[in-house]
Amino acid sequence: MVILIQFFLYIIYFIYKLYSLLDKKYIFSANGGKLKKYIKYDDPQSITGNLGRNDNKNSVISVLSSWSSYNFYLKSILNTILITITFLILKFCFTYEFLSSNFLYVNILNKHIDIAIILQDKYILFKIIYYLTYVFLIFNITYKIINIYYSKKKKMSKEIKTDMSITIGKKVIENSDSDICENAIINEQGLYQNILITGSIGSGKTSSAISNILLQLIKNNIYGLIIDVKGTYINVLKEMLKLNNIEKEIVEISLESCFKYNPLNIPNVTSIELASRIKQILLNISKNNISDSYWLDKAEEYIRDFITLIRAYGKIVSFKELHLLVVNKEYLYEKLEFVKQQILKNKYTDDELFNINSALLNIKNEYLKLDERTIGIIKSEITRVTNVFMADKKVFDTFCDSSDEINFLSNKIYVLSLNIGENRLLTKIISSYLKLDYQKQILSQKANFKRTFFVSDEYQEIATQDDAHFFSLSREYKSINVISMQSYSSLLDTLSNENASKVIIQNLVNKIWFRNDDMYTVQEIIKQVGKEYKKKETINYSENSQNSHYSIIFNKFRNYKSGLSKSISISNRNEYLLTEEYITRTLKTFEACAVLSNGINIEFNKKIILRRWDIKDEEKMVKGKKYIR
C-alpha cells in the first residue's frame, strides 16, 4: 500500500514540474491570465522576451563570466548526481522486497488485490517508472538545496570580513503590518570612509551620535584626537573613560591642564611648512577680511625667514619670538648681528648655512627696505595671530613655551578643550594647528598603519579647503574621521567656496542627518538621496442616476434608478525619497536618516533611532556584563 501511495505522489510531482516547465513556453491559463501573472510579478523583460537588449559586452569579461557560470553549473550538477545516486542506493536497500518480488498486494476494503496480476507484463514498467520518478524527485529537491547553499556561500564570500564594526542605532524598516527595528551598523571598511553628522541645535548630534560612536571606537582600542571647541565635552569623556578603566589614557590640552603645546616648536617641520600653516590660520580666522591675497603671500614669505632666523640664534620657535621680531626692529637687528657672528665662527652646517643666508638676504635687502606703510600692513597681518598669545599670561604659558610630546600613533586620546565663546581666535588657531599636526603624523606613516580617529564637533569652526585632500587619503592610513556640524551652510560660510565645501562633504561618505532647518542643507540631502519610482493608484467612484424627482416631504431629490461606476488608474512616478517636511518636522530628537557604507555598497536608511549616551545607563550596562561573567 505504501509503495502505491509513493508511486502516485511521485507521479503527481512529475506532472506538476512538467506543467510548470511547459507553462513557461506556452499559455495554459485562462484568457489574459498569463499577462496578469507577469504584471503581478512586474517582469517586463519576460513579457518582451528581452527584445532590444544590448549584449555588446567586453569579450574578455563575457568569456570569464560564462566560464565561471559554467563551472558553478557543472559543480552543482555533479554534486546533485552523486547525492541522487546515494539516495537511490538507499531506496533499493529499503525496497528490496518490492524490487525482487513478482507480486504487490494492496488491501482495499478488506480485500487483498495483487497489482502485479492486474498489470501483468506492465508490472516491470511500473517498477521502472516508480524508481525513475523517485530519482526525478530527489534530483530536483537536491539541486534546489545545493543551489541555495552555493548562492549563500557566494554571497558570504563577497561580504567584507572585518574584525570591527560599530552600531549607530536602530534602523526602522517600514512594513505593512508593523515597523521592524534592526541594528544600523558601519563595518571597519565603511568607517575608513569617514562619517559626517549634521543637525540643528538640540537634535542629538553630540549626546547620541558622537558619544556612542566614540565609545565604541575606544572599546576597540582605537585612539586619536578629539577637538572640543565648546569646552564642555571633556567632562563627559572623562566619565566615559573612567567607566572603561582607561582614564589615564586621556591627555587634556586646555588652559587649566598642565600639558604644554607650542604649535611652532616642531623641529622636524621645515620653516616653509610652518609659514604655510600660519597662512592657513590667517585665512581661517579672517574669512570676511578684504585684504589682498598679495599681503598674505608676502606675510608668509617673511614668516618663513623669521622662523629660520629664530632657529639660527637658538631660541625655541614660538609666537613670542615671532612677535618680537615683527614689532621690535631693535630686537631684529640684534638677532641679525648675533647670527652674523655665528656664521663667522663657522657654527652652522652647509645645509643650515644655505637656509640662513637666504633668510638674511631676504630680510635685509627686502623686508627692512620696505616703506612704513607696507611694513605696517605686513605687521598687521602677522600680529593678528601673535597678539592672541601675547595678551594673556595663561595663554602665553600654555602655548608659547617648550612643548610636550604629541604622538597621535600612541595609545593616548588627545583632547583639546577650549571655549570658543570665551576666546574665539585662540580656539580657532589651536584647533587648526592640532588638526594639521594630526594630519601630518597620519600621512607620514610608511607601513603597518595604526587605526586612529579624528573627532571634531562644530567642525565648521576649523575647516580649511586642504582638509578635502586629507579626507580623500585617510582611508589608506586607517584614519576614522568623525565630523559634526550644524549644516552645510555653516561650512560654506567658513570656506566661502561652494565647490570646496562640496568636495569635503563628498569625501565624508557615511552621513547621518538629524532634523535640520537650514534649507540649503535640506535641499542638498534630498538631492543626494535621490529619487525612486513609486506606484500611485487612483480610484474614482461615480454615480449616474435617472428618474430624479423632488420630494416635498423629505425636501430633497430622490433617485429611483441609479448606477455606480468605478475607475482605477495606476501610474509610476519618479519621486524623491525624502521631503522637506520629513527632514524639518517629522524627525524627532535622537532620530536621523542616514546613508551608511560597508566599503562596497551604500545603504540608505530613512529612519534610525539613536540612543542618548548617559552615564547612569552605561553604568547599569557595565554592571550587567560583570554580573553575567
Supply the DSSP symbol for 486.
Answer: S
Q: What angle do CA 434, 437, 441 make, to 5 degrees?
A: 140
HSE-CB at 217 with a 13 A cutoff on CA atoms is 31
Its CATH class, for the domain covering 166-259+404-530+577-629, is alpha beta
Q: Residue 575, SS3?
A: strand
Query: Within 10 Å of residue 214's Cβ, how many Cβ atoms?
Result: 24
**Cell digits of residue 473:** 587619503
Angstrom distance (rounded) from CA 226 to CA 51: 58
- Mean pLDDT for 378-383 is 92
Looking at residue 114, what is its pLDDT? 72
pLDDT digits (tens, 9 = 90+) for 189-220: 999 999 999 999 989 999 899 999 999 999 99
Angstrom distance (rounded) from CA 411 to CA 221: 8
Looking at residue 63, what is its pLDDT? 44
Supply the DSSP symbol for 209.
Answer: I
Looking at residue 548, what is its pLDDT? 65
Looking at residue 293, what is its pLDDT? 80
Residue range(s) of every CATH 3.40.50.300 domain in the chain: 166-259+404-530+577-629
pLDDT above 90: residue 357: yes
Looking at residue 324, what is its pLDDT? 94
Which value, to the nearest 10 degrees, does the dihedral of the CA atoms of residues 297, 301, 304, 306 take?
-120
Query: Rounded to 5, what percent of the chain is helix, strand, coil?
Result: 55, 20, 25
Q: Which residue has the higher pLDDT, 622 or 169?
A: 169
Q: Which residue has the higher pLDDT, 159 or 433?
A: 433
pLDDT digits (tens, 9 = 90+) for 219-243: 999 999 999 999 889 988 998 888 8
| Region class of 603: left (phi > 0), else alpha (psi between -120 and 50), else beta | beta
